[in-house]
Amino acid sequence: MSGPTTLPETDVETEQRTRRQPPYHVVLLNDDDHSYEYVIEMLKALFGHPVEKGFLLARLVDTEGRAIVCTTSLERAELKRDQIHAYGPDPRIPRCAGSMSAELEAAE
């Protein structure tokens, strides 16, 4: 009888890669029916941006027609876009009929 059989050690290395979702930008679009104050308040409420950053983004939207206000996963970007659309009208401007508009774009 022979002794116990010893199997050679096999070093099985399994490679685990976390697949990350591609990022998306939430892009706020300009209109003439919302004040800087509204934009600053909305960005603070929905994104936690401080007043200073809110002002810079409001100015960018006003001058460039659009501003990236957040870059995140697709699911969260969709949520944030929907929150912008649901934020409501600007009470400071009587003709304002609703929320601002936003769109998503893939981040490069």
pLDDT in tens, 13-30: 656 677 777 999 999 999
When divided into structural domains, the chain yields a total of 1
pLDDT at position 101 is: 97
Residue 87 lies in a domain: yes
CATH number of the structural domain spanning residue 42: 3.30.1390.10
For the entire predicted model, the pTM comes to 0.80
Tell me the average pLDDT of the chain: 90
Q: Which residue has the higher pLDDT, 5 or 59?
A: 59
pLDDT at position 72 is: 97
pLDDT at position 32 is: 87
Residue 17 lies in a domain: no
pLDDT at position 21 is: 79
Residue 7 lies in a domain: no
Task: Identify the domain containing residue 67 by its residue range.
Answer: 24-106
Q: Which of 51, 101, 54 is nearest to 81 (CA)?
A: 101
pLDDT at position 19 is: 72
Sheet architecture: strand order including 66-72: 66-72, 24-29, 101-106
